[in-house]
């Protein structure tokens, strides 16, 4: 009798966790979570590199070795 609600709760939390993981994965361009946002202190160099990446690729987590800006 108690197994049905337990199974439902497990399925609901499992589905929510999977959807959150997939959403985070796509927001990070398929990469693992980096520490560019959140309660982590970034120094000026890291902030400038994030800004450079954003200008070069259009996304703050995109990385390229070429120095041509994307067409807008």
Which pLDDT score is estimated for 30? 67
Q: How confident is the model at residue 58, as a pLDDT?
A: 77
pLDDT digits (tens, 9 = 90+) for 6-57: 999 999 999 999 998 888 877 776 666 665 566 567 788 888 888 887 887 7
CA 67 to chain CA centroid, Å, is 24
The residue assigned the tokens 């108690």 is 2
Determine how many CB atoms are found less than 10 A away from the CB of residue 26.
9
The model carries a pTM of: 0.49
Instruction: State the pLDDT at residue 68.
Output: 63
For the chain, what is the total number of helices (H) and then of strands (E)?
Answer: 2, 0
More confident residue, 24 or 60: 24
Question: What residues have CB less than 8 Å from 64, skipping those under 6 apart?
Answer: 53, 56, 57
Residue 35's pLDDT is what? 58
The residue ranges of every structural domain in the chain are 1-33, 35-72
Yes or no: say if 24 and 30 are a contact pair by the CB < 8 Å rule.
no
């Amino acid at each position: 009798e108690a197994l049905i609600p337990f199974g439902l709760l497990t399925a609901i939390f499992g589905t929510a966790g999977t959807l959150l993981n997939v959403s985070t994965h796509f927001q990070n361009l398929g990469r693992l979570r980096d520490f560019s946002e959140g309660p982590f202190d970034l120094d000026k160099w890291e902030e400038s590199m994030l800004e450079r990446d954003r200008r070069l690729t259009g996304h703050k987590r995109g990385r390229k070795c070429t120095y041509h800006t994307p067409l807008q």
